[in-house]
């Protein structure tokens, strides 16, 4: 936990070292984009793991439903991955077309 505190303290020092508030907003936008993408990727990976595990367990219990379960799994994986892609789009907007910089 101390490492994270020191990391954010260092990032804050970098953000405040710039000229004016615009560079601070840009610096914090980069940090927010990185943290947001990391959390989205973590959540997506956990969700995909649970989805695959449930599909494998369902197929092991009833092999006749394997095809239907596989189709449903791929639809669920696409929806999970869509959430990560939405986060990527928001992060790219925050980095390159930042609405907070006038």
Written as six digits, the tokens of 34 are: 């990185």
57-101 confidence digits (pLDDT tens)? 999 999 999 999 999 999 999 999 999 999 999 888 888 887 777
2-30 confidence digits (pLDDT tens)? 777 777 767 666 666 656 667 777 878 88
Whole-angstrom Cα Rg for the chain: 20
**43 contacts 50 by C-beta, under 8 angstroms:** no
Dist. CA 49–CA 11, nearest whole Å: 33
- CATH number attached to the domain at 2-96: 1.20.20.10
What is the maximum span of the chain, computed from C-alpha positions, in angstroms? Answer: 65
Selection from 55, 60, 87, 86 nearest residue 72 by Cα: 55
Which pTM value belongs to this model?
Answer: 0.71
């Amino acid at each position: 936990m101390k490492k994270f505190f020191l990391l954010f303290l260092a990032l804050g020092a970098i953000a405040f070292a710039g000229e004016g508030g615009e560079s601070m907003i840009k610096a914090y936008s980069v940090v927010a984009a990185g943290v947001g993408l990391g959390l989205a990727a973590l959540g997506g990976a956990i969700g995909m793991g649970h989805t695959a595990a449930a599909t494998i367990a369902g197929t092991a219990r009833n092999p006749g439903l394997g095809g239907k379960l596989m189709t449903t799994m791929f639809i669920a994986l696409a929806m999970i991955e869509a959430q990560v892609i939405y986060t990527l789009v928001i992060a790219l907007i925050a980095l390159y077309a930042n609405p907070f910089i006038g």
